Amino acid sequence: MPYRPKKPCAHPGCPELVENGQKYCEKHRALHPEETRSASSRGYGRSWQRASKQFLAAHPLCARCLAEGRYRKATVVDHIIPHRGDSELFWDRENWQPLCKECHDRKTWREDSRPTYGY
């Protein structure tokens, strides 16, 4: 049976090839811990589930859709400024906004598709 071909490392500018199912080479895997840690280890555990459910009950409409004159149910609590592991920013309710999944995915892709790295 044929093997699947290796693909390039997803780190910008890295030409290394990685096995199918992997995203980064050994050299760059440590620079992308968000890809390998579980949601609960990143702070999205039981406390977050409870807090986000309460926030969505208090803010049921998507903020971005509402700004464009559409009424759409919010299903995701988004961090306006990405917290990047900062627990103070993570739990700051002033940094939360209710979004529908479509708006959240669009915002996250725009912000995370070209991240800045500190070496």
**3-class DSSP string for the chain:** CCCCCCEECCCCCCCCEECCCCCCCHHHHCCCHHHCCCCHHHCCCHHHHHHHHHHHHHCCECHHHHHCCCCCECCEEEECCCCCCCHHHHHCHHHEEEECHHHHHHHHHHHHCCCCCCC
- State residue 43's pLDDT score: 81
Cβ atoms of 77 and 98 within 8 Å: the answer is yes
Asked if residues 25 and 16 have their Cβ atoms less than 8 Å apart, the reply is: yes
* pLDDT reading at 29 higher than 60: yes
Is the whole model's pTM more than 0.75, yes or no? no
pLDDT, position 96: 97
Distances (CA, A) of 96 to 2, 13, 115: 48, 33, 20
Gap between the Cα atoms of 20 and 36, Å rounded: 15
Judged against a pLDDT cut of 60, whether residue 119 lies above it is answered with no
**pLDDT > 70? residue 36:** no
Does the structure show a pLDDT above 60 at 117? no
Q: What is the mean pLDDT of the chain?
A: 88
Q: How confident is the model at residue 12 (pLDDT cuts 50, 70, 90)?
A: confident
